[in-house]
Amino acid sequence: MNKENKRRKFHTDIECVKEGFANGIAFGGPLSDQEKSDMIEDAAKAYGEFLDALRCDWRNDPNSMETPKRVAKAYVHDLWRGRYEELSDVTSFPSDGYRGIVLEKDIPVVSQCSHHHQTILGKAHIAYIPGEDGRVIGLSKLNRIVEHFSRRGAIQEQLTMAIHKALNKVLENTDGVMVMLQATHNCVSCRGVKHMGASMITSEVSGVFAEHDKTAKQEVMHMIGYGLDAYR
């Protein structure tokens, strides 16, 4: 198997949902620069028709003339970038016998609700424990994994599981992995019930973090700042 096919296989192996879904990789993804350019043109045309249906005279409004193109570029290059680009290589290193908790907290999460295409803003906390002869990964790679799966249409529950699954895939011989997300959703604050400030917390755990006595899980919660009694 050549390098490109290996990368493609790895990319699909860590996916949780069906190809083509809003929170999955795009059909035929990852895309080339030319494919992205073509997609932007097609999406801009379709978005202009969407504005037409909403009776918006965007063609003559100086503030809206370029809006279809701007929105299309924002989706392809930013908002849904994780659907069209390959996850960068994840570098790992020997843990040299370290068997304690590795925690990175307050990783920024910027995503988009796949139901209403409203912004999700929050933070992720990731913890793992290297197992015997285990490895650790470069710190920034945790951020990259979060960013890769966040930049799609998403529901927070599946986003949490996707990050957890990817970490279990790239980390070798861990004693456990814990992923926790806390985020606010514009689909709650700007429409429907219109409640500002409400946030959602989700978590996915495995290994020692899922054990009945919850000692390791409570230690992580304390390290994050939620206190030892959280998540009893």
Mean pLDDT of 120-130: 96
Residue ranges of domains in the chain: 3-84, 92-224
Q: What is the CATH number of domain 92-224?
A: 3.30.1130.10
Mean pLDDT of 144-156: 95
Q: In terms of pLDDT, which residue wins out, 107 or 216?
A: 107
Q: What is the pTM of this model?
A: 0.88
Q: What is the CATH number of domain 3-84?
A: 1.10.286
Mean pLDDT of 4-15: 54
Residue 173: count of CB within 10 angstroms of its CB? 11
Mean pLDDT of 135-144: 91
Look-up: residue for tokens 């219109």? 194
Mean pLDDT of 36-50: 98
Q: Is the pLDDT of residue 85 over 70?
A: yes
Mean pLDDT of 167-181: 90
- pLDDT computed for residue 66 by the predictor: 98
Mean pLDDT of the chain: 89
Q: Is the pLDDT of residue 83 over 90?
A: yes
Instruction: Please write the tens of the pLDDT for every residue from 180-231.
Output: 999 999 998 888 888 988 999 999 999 999 987 788 888 898 888 875 444 4
pLDDT band with cut points at 50, 70 and 90 for residue 1: very low
Percent of the chain with pLDDT over 90: 60
Mean pLDDT of 169-178: 88
Mean pLDDT of 45-53: 98
As a dihedral over the C-alpha atoms of residue 224, residue 226, residue 229, residue 230, rounded to 10 degrees, the angle is -100
Q: How far apart are CA 231 and CA 117, in angstroms?
A: 31
Q: How far apart are CA 229 and CA 227, in angstroms?
A: 6
Closest CA to 81 of 111, 119, 109, 106: 111
pLDDT band with cut points at 50, 70 and 90 for residue 150: very high
Sequence-separated (6 or more) residues with CB below 8 Å from residue 41: 72
Mean pLDDT of 50-61: 98
